[in-house]
Structure 1
Amino acid sequence: MGQPLDDAGLDTLFRTARSFNGYTDEPVTEADIRAIYDLLKMGPTSANMQPARFVWLLSQEGKDKLASFSSGTNAEKIRKAPAAVIIAMDLDFNEQLPWLFPHAPTAKDWFGDVDGRTPHAFRNSSLQGGYFILAARALGLDTGPMSGFDNAAVDAAFFPGQPNIRSNFISTLGHGDPSSIFDRLPRPEFEKFNRVE
């Protein structure tokens, strides 16, 4: 059974954590991204389907390529960040279920139709993208998730010959520069968007 985090842990993950628009010059290493992945993969997904596919861009060439498909100020944020990440989804995730969900031998067949698989892939890869953000924060890094980009162009450039892989969203990654953030935006009180029955 889990134990509650202390205030410092809650601040790191939620209360004082922010999405960053810029970063310090401190690099992001392959060891960093492997550590992030080793945490995020432990988050729950339906039937352990693990549909997210990550492309970690540490090279300037890779970041420039992604930036060329991004809109507005997102392109410059990507170019200048120490790293960027494409969070994608595998619409054929069910092919992996025999080893990811071995106690249900027929699980692969539960998702036989691609139209039926798509919402599962989107929902669960979005969850995994959220786990990526929390894992990065837990390890002392910061993120700048964004959706302003040309999905079809990113898919063609980064997943050629893999029509089953589709981009979901993208993010920058690094050690955040506090001068790059805006004032905290409003957060609703419980009563605004919740009810208890």
Structure 2
Amino acid sequence: MTAIDQSAVETLFTNARTHNVWKDKSVSEQTLRELYHLMHFGPTSMNCQPLRVLFLNSQAAKERLKPALMPGNQEKTMKAPVVAVLGYDTEFHEHLPRMFAHNKDAKSLFEGKTDFINTTAFRNSSIQGGYFILAARSLGLDTGPMSGFNNAAVDEEFFPDGKVKSNFLCSLGYGDHSSLFPRQARFEFDEVCRIL
């Protein structure tokens, strides 16, 4: 592997910010497809890939989400060009014979083990959510990840069969950089890391 250049580091990390105010500019379906394509290369345990994404690209779809949002999150979310509902498939293990084909016993490791399934699905969908944000940034999109919503209400509205559970939301578009808050504090290495 080769280290990425400073410009790429700035795009993905040091200059990237969470956005709440959006320019009136749509996001193409092709861009959403490219975002997923980039994201899906990121590693997950046993290549389980539990993330499932609903791209709410119309005002009508976003209105269905609105009642589940905390009041302070409603207006900014409704104005985002696209809102992605990132969820996890609680039946991801059914796909392991295809996704982890070299291990014929992979599926059986999860069968009947609800806690193990849910923990694995939530953890790995969260990891994939991180890839999702970085993939979006790499395509020139700004992101607004958010967890201020009623998961049960979202699941009832968008995943009524109960197989997929919501993890978090992520607004996508082209942010208004003039509306950003000052960057908040970050921990320094020695405050939260140890080398043993």
| TM-score strictly above 0.5 | yes
Does the residue aligned with 2:171 lie in a helix, a strand or coil?
strand
TM-score using structure 1 length: 0.97
Q: Residues 65 and 180 from structure 1, CA distance in 2 versus in 1: closer, same or farther, beyond 3 angstroms?
A: farther
Residue in 2 that maps onto 1:137: 137
Q: CA RMSD in A?
A: 0.8
Q: Residues of 1 paired with 2:147 and 2:179: CA distance?
A: 19
Amino acid across the alignment from 1:48: N
Aligned length: 195
Q: Distance in 2 between matches of 1:115 and 1:184?
A: 37
CA drift at 1:44: 0.4
Whether the aligned pair in 2 keeps the contact of 1:66 and 1:78 (CA below 8 Å) is no
Match of 1:186, SS?
Answer: coil
TM-fit CA distance, 1:73: 2.0
Matching residue of 1:78 = 77
Cα displacement string for residues 15-43 of structure 1 (whole angstroms, at most 9, x for unaligned residues): 01000001111101111110000000000
Q: Name the residue aligned to 1:121.
A: 121
Secondary structure of 1:171's partner? strand
Distance in 1, Cα, partners of 2:74 & 2:31: 23
The residue type paired with residue 110 of structure 1 is L
Which residue does 2:23 correspond to in 1? 24
Residue 57 of structure 2: aligned partner? 58
Shift of 1:75: 1.0
User: Within 5 Å, which residues of 2 pair with 1:164-183?
Assistant: 164-183=163-182
Gaps of 5+ in 1: none
CA distance in 2 between partners of 1:159 and 1:165 (Å): 6
Measured in 1, the distance between the counterparts of 2:163 and 2:176 equals 36
3-state DSSP of counterpart to 2:71 = coil
Separation of aligned partners in 2, 1:59 and 1:29: 12
- Aligned equivalents of 2:75, 2:66: Cα separation in 1: 7
Gaps spanning 5+ residues in structure 2: where? none
Q: Distance in 2 between matches of 1:24 and 1:66?
A: 21
Conserved in 2, the CA contact under 8 Å of 1:92 and 1:114?
no
* Percent of matched pairs sharing the same residue: 48
Asked if 1:195 is matched to 2:179, the reply is: no
